[in-house]
Structure 1
């Protein structure tokens, strides 16, 4: 159910809060991050232009789609030939508002017609003024749009009255349109709001209140016509200059964005290379500590064994030349020796079987027993190796302050 249109500022606030907070199928098709901005735009518009009231109505797109949208329905005041008139308009807030401009229509009654060949209003009533064409989010807003509509329509009114008889009860600066709700419709390939029934004669610059014969464009004052054409020409020139300036600036911005993206890519490459160099430096420092530690161990060994070779090399016991420094090293040496010895025995057994010196069943029994022994020695060697690695890391951590640079 669509809420009834508001009649004062407090009611407008409540109305907007109600329609913009709806969820589900009845929710308005605006993104959540823009609903607050839409509310503020409409409240500012109704404050500066009380004749424009926010409503919800059905809008029909060119492709036939219908959607429930917010609109500002009412009149905008203009001054033409020193007389104030009210031009009925409808400002539709499309789904992508405020990132894209609203859709504005003049809304003539049955006693009014749209001026032919108007520079900013097509025969369907669609308004296309420079402010809409140059809409820039977030600086553009509905208040400035309403002022621009009053200014542009004041120079060249888009509506004419079809009434030929004056109405003495009509005053030109009075609004001729009720603000009751209605829904929009489509016709002739253009999305159009429906026409409402006026209660008073329409305020037209070419009606009885303007002092000019209705529908007679030829009777306009020549100076006013010339002035209007010159102003329109100036507006078109300024609009063209603004479009060219905007395209130039957009091209420059694209170039800057491309340069920025290139610099960001190079920054990522430099950071990646710097990280790799730091990791490599840390690895080299760790390797340097290991080399220094091993160098110290070898130098100590050389100092201890340097005098053993002088004068007694023929009496050196090869088996006792190298001594294990700890229990783990001795156990690793024994396990490794047994493992290699078993490899040699298995190789010799294979040769014996191939030459026929040993029965095959005896060969299998020996290999089974040797393999079991080799497995246990290899498992013991793996555990000893893990213990030695842990001890080496602990020793490096203890010696690290000595080799720190």
Structure 2
């Protein structure tokens, strides 16, 4: 799958960098199943790990998943040094980088040699060698978590409580167990496996922990070591919970900020439209005001002459036909005016505005004047009828007159 590693012409760190640059830059069917935007971060993680732990070597190998799928993945294979009871030991381990790495934590397996056993009921390692209870793995957060800090955490925790011990009398090597869903491919190596270095790599010899009698430990020291491990585990768990809570709060605040920015943009657009509409309405109001002033000036200029002409036309609109008709019109107008005066006087005396004796005097004078106007109207009416009969007789034929 991957090209051959570079020739041994430089240091191990340079080999690792060249190897990672080559395998991570491949495209097409032979490309590793990692996201393109994190391949550079994966390279940096492995380079930093190898610089700090030279006993680990990068390589590409076939990994079998639980569901039967197989994929070529990156791994860091070698040993992790620990310090226990004043002595340095090397624990064989393999750090697999699954497809979603670094957004998901790596898979860490201890690969004991035939003369080693996994400590039963270890709090961090199960019977298959999977490191599943490490606090750093449980609190893995992208992109701050990395392989170097993970290896340092495991070195410290395994130094407090080693997960492997050596048999006192190592038996003959057992045949290799078939590869399971969580273990790497067994030896001999598959042809498709790409090894970092062309020369075979041998793990540093692990000291025989069980070859010598275990030293007597102080109970206080054991209690202190267990308390420290418990505190570290609790601190990692609380930090992970606090980090998750803070990230959720930050994401919620970011969402509110984005929504407020969107609403602010809509508000700015609305304010700008309202300002434009107000400016247009002010221009329209100015035009209407100017037109109103022009109309008012024209009406003021032409109203006076039109009113005088209307009054003159009203005066001459009705003209009596003769003297009797004019006298009849004047008498009728005077009679109606007196009738209105009497009505107004009645309302005044009812409201108490005019004293009763004054009402009687005024009423007597108005009634007397109205009587004379009505008598005059009657006489004028009789004269008009007589004149009308005379005009009709004058227009009659001569044979009716004889």
Task: Tell me which of 115, 137, 146 is aligned to 1:141.
Answer: 146
- The 2-side partners of 1:293 and 1:43 are apart by 82
> Residue in 1 aligned with 2:3?
3
Do structure 1's residue 221 and structure 2's residue 216 form an aligned pair?
yes
CA distance in 1, matches of 2:230, 2:139: 18
In structure 1, the residue matched to 2:228 is 231
Shift in Å, 1:78: 0.9
For residue 135 of structure 2, what is the aligned residue in structure 1?
130
Going from structure 1 to structure 2, the CA distance change for 1:252 and 1:32 (only over 3 Å counts) comes to: closer
Residue 194 of structure 2 corresponds to residue 191 of structure 1: no
Distance 1:70 1:305 in 2: 102
**1:203 corresponds to:** 206
What is the distance in 1 between the residues matched to 2:14 and 2:206? 29
Alignment check: 8 A CA contact 2:98 2:106 kept: yes
Which is higher, the Rg of structure 1 or of structure 2?
2
Equivalent residue, structure 2, for 1:116: 120
8 Å Cα contact 1:72-1:90 kept in structure 2:
yes
**2:202, 2:50 → 1: CA distance?**
22
Count of aligned positions: 288
Alpha-carbon separation, structure 1, partners of 2:119 and 2:261: 55
Instruction: Give the whole-Å Cα distance in 2 for the aligned partners of 1:205 and 1:152.
Output: 20
Residue aligning to 1:27: 31
Superposed displacement of residue 51, structure 1: 1.4
CA shift for structure 1 position 118: 0.8
Q: Are the aligned partners of 1:78 and 1:84 in contact in 2 as well (CA < 8 Å)?
A: yes
SS of structure 2 residue aligned to 1:127: coil
Q: Structure 1 residues 32, 311: CA separation in 2 closer, same or farther (over 3 Å shift)?
A: same
Q: Structure 2 vs 1, CA of residues 3 and 22 (structure 1 numbering), >3 Å: closer, same or farther?
A: same
In 2, Cα distance between equivalents of 1:200 and 1:102: 21
Q: Which shows bigger deviation, 58-67 or 2-11? A: 2-11
User: For residues 195 and 207 of structure 1, what CA distance do their matches in structure 2 show?
Assistant: 26
Residue 292 of structure 1 corresponds to which residue in structure 2? 289
Deviations 1:363-385 (A, max 9, x none): xxxxxxxxxxxxxxxxxxxxxxx
- CA 309–11 in structure 1, closer or farther in 2 if over 3 Å, else same: same
Are residues 288 and 63 of structure 1, via their aligned partners in 2, closer, same or farther at CA, if it must alter by over 3 Å? farther
Deviations 1:292-317 (A, max 9, x none): 3433443454466456625446999x
* 1:255 to 1:313, Cα distance in 2 relative to 1, 3 A: same
| 1:58-207 alignment, distance < 5 Å | 58-128=62-132, 129-162=134-167, 164=169, 187=180, 190-196=181-187, 203=206, 206-207=209-210
Change (3 A) 1:102 1:296: farther
- Per the alignment, residue 342 of structure 1 pairs with none
Gaps of 5+ in 1: 167-184, 213-218, 317-405
| 1:16 is aligned to 2:20 | yes
Distance 1:38 1:80 in 2: 31
Q: 1:273 to 1:89 in 2, by over 3 A?
A: same
TM-score (norm 1): 0.60
**2:80 touches 2:155 (CA, 8 Å); kept in 1?**
yes
Aligned-residue CA RMSD (Å) = 3.5
Change (3 A) 1:11 1:297: farther
Measure the CA separation in 2 of the matches of 1:242 and 1:41. 22
1:34 Cα offset (Å): 1.2
Alpha carbons of structure 1 residues 288 and 29: separation in structure 2 relative to 1, 3 Å: farther
3-state SS of 2:77 partner: strand
* 1:65 positional shift: 2.5
Task: Report if aligned partners of 2:57, 2:77 keep a CA contact under 8 Å in 1.
Answer: yes
CA distance in 1, matches of 2:312, 2:98: 105
Aligned mate of 1:37, from 26, 34, 41: 41
Cα separation, partners in 2 of 1:154 and 1:147, compared to 1, 3 Å: same
